[in-house]
Amino acid sequence: MEELGIPDLTTEEIEALCGTAENAAREYILSKVPSKTLEKLNISVEAYGTKPVNITVEIDLELSSKMKDFDADKLVNEAVEEAHKTSENYLRKLT
């Protein structure tokens, strides 16, 4: 992620940033697979540092056996990328 020259984030802004990233990842996954095919979906987002702000997104995804031919790893990677894009957009709005 490039440096955006944002001010130090408040606790509320960090929480909003993490929530925004988590929601983006969840919405992305649910747009690609039906919720009834999810056995497990845990999303963790952490923001640390101030300049630059670093975002870590971890997704633990397990699909039902009906989805055995679906590439879950690719979906997770795409959802992480979507979360990062959304985070960057959120941070740009703060500048």
Read off the pLDDT of residues 30-45 as tens digits, 9 standing for 90 and up. Answer: 999 999 999 999 999 9
Q: Does an H or E element contain 92, and which?
A: helix 72-94
- pTM, entire model: 0.87
Rounded-to-integer distance, Cα 84 and Cα 75, Å: 14
Residue 2 has pLDDT above 70, yes or no: no
Q: What pLDDT does 92 receive?
A: 87
Residue 6 has pLDDT above 70, yes or no: no
Q: What pLDDT does 7 receive?
A: 58
All structural domains of the chain, each given as residue ranges with its CATH number in brackets, are: 11-94 (3.30.300.100)
Q: Which 3 state secondary structure label does DSSP give 64?
A: coil
Q: Helix %, strand %, coil % for the chain, to 5? A: 55, 20, 25
Residue 79 has pLDDT above 90, yes or no: yes
